[in-house]
Structure formats: C-alpha cells, structure tokens
Chain A
Amino acid sequence: MTRRRLTKALDVKVLRDARSLRAQLIAIALVIACGVGLFLGMRATMRSLAAARSQYYAEERFANVFAQLERAPEAVASRLREIPGVARIQTRIVANVTLDVPDMAETASARLVSVPDEGGILVNDVRLRSGRMPASGRSDEAVVSEPFAQAHALELGDHVAAVINGRRERLRIVGTALSPEFTYTVGPGLVFPDDRRFGILWLRRSALGPAFDMQGAFNDVVIEVSRGALIAQVIDRVDRVLERYGGIGAIERKDQESAFFIENELAQLQSFGLMVPITFLFVGSLLLNVVIGRIVASQRVQIAALKALGYHDREIGAHYAKLVGIVTVTGVVLGVLLAGWLGGSMVRQYSQYFRFPELPFVMSLRDVIQAVGITLAAAVAGGWAAIRQSVRLPPAEGMRPASPANYRPTLVERFGWTRRIGPNVQMILRELERRPWRASLSVLGIALAAALMVLTTFSFDAFTHMINVQFGIAQREDVQLVLFSPREVSDVREIEHLPGVIHAEPFRSAPIRLRSGPLSRSVAVRGLPAGTTLHKVLDADLRQVSIPRAGLVVSAKLASLLGVRTGDDVRVEVLEGRRRRVNVPVARIAEAFIGLQAYMDLEALAGLLGETPTMNGAWLLVDERELAALHASVKSMPNVAGITVRADAIQAFRKILDESLGTSLAISLGFALVMSLGVLYNAARITLSERTRDLASLRVLGFRRGEVSFLLLGEIAILSACGIPLGLWLGRVLAGLLVRSPGFDSEQFRIPLVIEPATYALAALTIVLATGIAGFAAWRRLERIDIVDVLKTRD
C-alpha cells in the first residue's frame, strides 16, 4: 500500500527550510540577481553594439585609415593606391558649411561629403534609408543624414540652403542615409551629439568640385587596408605621399571620431560591467556565508541527529549546498530576466546616440553560461566555509548544547567610557564585538551598497563640473565663429560690426604634430591673442594660465602622452603652409577635460607658421537679444565654416542629462537598496533568531517592548552608522579607479573625479532608508513573538 516516494525526505527538508527562511533567502537571491542582471545586461549590450558595429563596418566597407589634406590632384590617388597594404581608396571632397534650415532661426552646420559621380562608393559607403542618391551631375540634390532629417522633420523633396563657398545653394533632399563614419556625430564646438544643429550632406563630387575649387582634386581620402597589412606602415607612407599636399596626418580607425566614441563606450561598459556586478556577487557571497552559517549553527542538533541516523558528511553537506543552490538558481533566473530588461533598455538608449541601421539586442548563451559559472563560484565560495564547518561537527558534540557564548567588555568599556553609553548600548556593542567577523562583513556589505550608489551617480557631478568649467569659466564667449581660410587679424573689426556683437577676439588654429623622442601626437594648436578675456586656459586648480610670449602650453593629458614636463623641448611639425619644423619649449601645463589641447600666443604661432599674424576664427561676446540677427547675417557670410553658440551646447548637455538622470538615479537607487536591504535585513533577522530567547527574557524581567526593540534595532543602526562613512570613502576610491580606466580617461575626454555633497548625501540616505525598512520588518517579527513560547522551547 505504500506509494513509492518521489522525493527524499532530506530534500523535503530543504524545501521546507527554504520556505521558512524565504524572506532572507529572497533578499540574497535579489542581490545575486542584480549581479547577474548587471553583468549579463551590460555584457549583452556590449555584444549587441559590437555585433551591430562589425556587421555595419563590413557591409559599408568602413575605412581603416583616414587622411585630410589641403588639396591634391586626383592623380595622387594612384600613388596612394600603390602603397603596399592598401586595398581600396576613396578620394573625396569634405567641407564644413553653415546651413539654413526652414524650421530653425539659428544656423545649423553640416559636413558636406562628396560621393563619386560614376561607379559606387568604394570605401565608407552610405546606407540609404529612403529615397535615392543624388543624380549624377546634379549639383542641387543632396542626401541628408537620417538623424538630421528626423530632427527637422525633413521630407524627401524639401529644401535646405547651404552656404557653399560664399554662394547660397538651395539643395533638394532626395534621400536620407546613414554611414559608419557618422554613427556618432558631434558637431564642431559641441560636446554631445545634437542632431538639430549638425548633420551630414552627401553631394555628387561634380557639385562640390567647382564650389570649393577642387575640380580634379580632393581634400580627403579614406583607405581600406588589406588584411594583415601593418596600419602604422600604411599611415607612414600615406603621410609621406600627402605631405606635399597639405596632409595633416593620417589617422587610423580607432582615432576616427565616431569609431572612437563607440569603442570608448564599449570600454566604459567593460569597466562598469565588471566592477559593479562583481560587487553584487561579492556581497551575495558574503550574505550566503553569513546566513547559511547561521542556519547551520541553528540546526546543529538536527545535523547531529542526521549523523547519528547514518548520513554521511557529504550528504549533509550536499543538503545545505542545495539550499545555497536554490538561492543561487533563483538569483540567476531572476538575473537573466533582469538582464533582458536592462540590456534591452540600454540598447534602446544607445540607439538614440549611435545611429546604426539596426541595433538588435542579442544575449549570447555563452555569456549566460559564463554568468552562471561566475555566480556559482561566488555562491560556493560563500557557502562552502559555512557548510564545511557544519559537516565537520562530531555528532556526539552536536548533541550537547553549544557552550555558552563568551562575552567580554568591549573596547569602549575598556577605555572607560562606560558611563557615557548606558547599559543598552553596552549590550549591543558586546554583541557586535563578540562576532567581529560577522559585524565586519555586514558593515562591508552596507559600505559597498553606499559605494555603489556613489559610483553609479557621481558621473552626473563629473559631467556637470566639466560643463561648468568648460562653459562657465574657460569658454566665456557666447559664440564661436570658424572661418574657412585664414584672414588678417585686423579683420576681427569687421566681425565686431556684425549685429549684436559686443566684443570679438581672434584666434588662429593650425594642425601640428608634436614629437618627443619616439612619442608623437597630431593636434590642433590654438593661437590666442595676448590678454584674451573670452577664452581662458585653466590649470588643475581652475586658475587662469597666462599664455607666455614664447613656448607652448599643453594639456596635462597631452604632456603625459608625450612624456614631457614644463621646460622640456618638443619638436613641432606644422602640417600646413610651409610645414616648418621647430623645437619649442613646453612653457606650462594646463588642464582640459576635452581633447588634447595645445595653446600658443597668437603672434608666437604666426612666427612658427612663418606668416604675419592671422586668424581663422573668432570668439564673440553677443547681446543675446540680437542673436537671431547675428545668425541671419552669418547664414550669408561666405567665409564662415561654422558657428556655435555656447548656450546651445549647454542646453544640449542639459537635455541629455535630464533625459538620463531620472532613470539612472532610479536604477542606481534600486540596486543600492537591494544590496543594503539584503545585508541589513539578514543582519536583523540573524540577531533576532539568535537572541529571541534573551530578548524574551528581558521582557519577562519587565523591559518594555520599545526597550527590547532598541536592542535589536540599535544593532543594525550601529552597523549602518559604521557602513555609511566607509562606503562614501570607498565610493570615492572606486570612482577614482573608474575615472582612470580607459573608457573614462582617453585622448578625447577625461572625466574628472568630482563628487558633490548631494551625491554623498543621497547615498547615505539610501542606506538610512534601507536601515529603516529592514528595521521595521525585523521589529514586526519581534512584536509577534510569544514570550512564553520562546522560553518554553529548548534550543
């Protein structure tokens, strides 16, 4: 009549134990889920971006080498083609122009890129999204980049006006397109993508040639390198060929703006995607250790009984390992679901900035397996010590009650501060000090949650600081004008007469290569007029660095890349005009968050270039009310290649910040709460389970509920109080590590380590909130305890 039992009795015990401890175990599983979700979510986002990128690059034959020059006859192309390792080249005419778009009063800017009249585009092909390419020979047709078209709701057949070499040209939009070259685009003078203010226009080469005096010539070339060829050698040869034609130094793909930003984002994901999930798995592992350890300790009599019944150590070990397994598997399953949601929304977010034709979200089985493996390792590491200890207990010893706990006066008491702290606090302190290991782990877990909160939210402070410094202190000009070609410095008077301009200062920018020993970098050096008030160069303490009469001022990052210090000589190779090569001393080191910067005195630069002082741009102080009039007149000025308005750049930044701040904060808060609650709730429950009898005894002795609660809640309050400052400090340390990692400290930008008090406060408040929630949950349990019942039962 007996039915064959499907489940072993010991497994039934696992399930029943798990059910009775479910709140604690779920808390741990959630921490693990966060770790798995973050790891897998970021990993999948990385993979999705990388996969979309490599497919896109391959399909559109994205170049490996990019070179800009002043002007070279088309015949030079064949010399480039002959360079060993060059597979295909595409010569082009590329120019920045100002654009007049119907729905916008201000000036937009655009980059014009030529496409060949005959034959296809060999390198850096465009992906048409709608319409068609401009008809061959038609100079009034253009394909516009899809994000720009979307930002302005441009339809096929609409017109935009471009000021091409002084002539206002009406261009009919015949198609929209994307290109791997412009997956991520930042307009000149902007810091973040702004699809309204900057777009790409593709025109037939026959349309651009005459306009820019480039008939039968090119000023840009993109090169596909054959597999296995050495890029550095190709670049070297290309530079030698183009030197005579005003080449400013070829760059490889990783330095191309769009490619760089994608790569950099991947590097950031890599840094974050390891640091943050590992913290979660580490805390999950700590919690497993503490909680399983406690469960095992509370079941020592049961373990002894099982041993007496003839269960092997390994069977009992496996029994508790199954409990760990249930928590881990729950965590992993929830984590994979979380990863799907998190990764999916991250990819959607990215698709707004990285304009791939398709950006599907892919989660690879391999990553899932890897995540499961890492999580299991963390769980085993956490559970192992606790389980092993249980299994080792000799059965006869397990039958006897555990020897009474050893208490001793705490450090505080030994210092003689007893009178000040009262007996209640003394009891709490003794309890904590009796298990220093466990208390330390709890403090560490809380600290990590606070640190995580700081780590995930400080970038808003950093960005705000960057923008405040850049646009609040350094760039005081309201408007920057960039000219197509250098003019006499005295022409700045003309600019000063434009509507609304209060004050104008000229600047000269020139491409140079700096060499120091084997190290070299190509940058644009900026010549500033003596006594400039609009554009300040700052040092690390945000004090203005005066530009000396002679010598270079370089940004700290550039100095470190070249391995030079103040007083060292660098070799300057001018990459335009007479291409002079001169040794110049580094006079000062400045601070710059964006790009590699080099500055000189305007006149000293003229001397270096071997010309009388010229300007190819100007900084303007403008009466805000007349900005529209200024835009209107700039739109028709022939020599203006671009105009950027500081307020627009700040606004674009604010928009990005506002869009992401809320969500980011909510997500960070959620994760930090899960972690700190996991730690605090378990700490409270463990204390409760260990001390129920003591607390009940105190109630019998006449203590009030509140007084007994104080003993329980005081403990987690003290843990939090220790964890918060440690966590804030740790957060700063981790943030310091992060800003030095490749994705955060690059040649294109450096994210400063700036953490505002509000960020620390928010992290601290998060922990306080978690302490409150955990305390409340534990307090409710305490309230439900039947004193008499507790005292009657045997341990």
Chain B
Amino acid sequence: MTEPEILSAPLVLEFPFSRTTGPVIGAFLTGLREKTVVGMRGADGRVICPAVEYDPETGAPLTELVELSDTGTVTSWTWVSQPRQGQPFARPFAFALVQIDGADTAMAHAVDVADATEMSTGMRVRARWAVEREGLITDIECFEPELAR
C-alpha cells in the first residue's frame, strides 16, 4: 500500500473560562483594580503575596490581609527575546519574580526595560498600573525600574 502524503489542518481549542475567585483571591484582585497590592499573613507571621487562602506549610485557613506597597525587588528574572501570543508585551521584555516590599514571597510578572543588560537580581522595581483595570493580575501592566520615575 502506498502511503499518501501527510494531511494536516489547523485546530484551535478555545476555552472561554470564567473562574470564581473566592474571598481571598477576590480581595487581592480587588486591590489591584484599586491600585493597591495586598498580601496575606501566614501562620508563622510571614506575608505571602499574592495573597493565598491557606498556609503553605500548615494548611491553616488565612484571613489577615496586609496592605503593601507597589514597589519591590527582583529575586530572579529571564529575558524574553521573542514574546509569545498572550504574553504581556509583543516586544522583548523580562519575566521576573518580584518580592513586594513587606512580603516574604515573590510574584511572577513582566519587567519593561529595553534590554537584558538593564536587568539584574536585586534591582528595585515599581508596579506600572494599567489604565483599564478589571481585577486581573494584568491590572499591573508590568513592573519598571523604580528610578524610572
């Protein structure tokens, strides 16, 4: 039997997910909408940001929200030279872990600088707020070097 040449067709899977947030993630995202970063105090007193519902070590439910600033420190980063669809920028940017001042954990987000040489672990950054905010992690458009302002 001769094998015909390979057939192919585009296939798109699209899930229009709408997810309920629950009270804790809802509070964190409400904060972002209002240009405020909040964390959650863990069982051992550490502050976890973004806020989580349960203590990562003990599993105890957490309820004490803590207001934080919109500045922080880069704890790790990488350079995205060819951004993919859906990522924060279509131009090259950095993905980073940012530890918000007053928090003991880090959040993932984009840092907008022109070149990888402007990135370093330990650099100080500040949130740049999106103009249109609806309660999403992308209400922070990105972080940018703190001295930029």
Q: Tell me if chain B binds chain A.
A: no
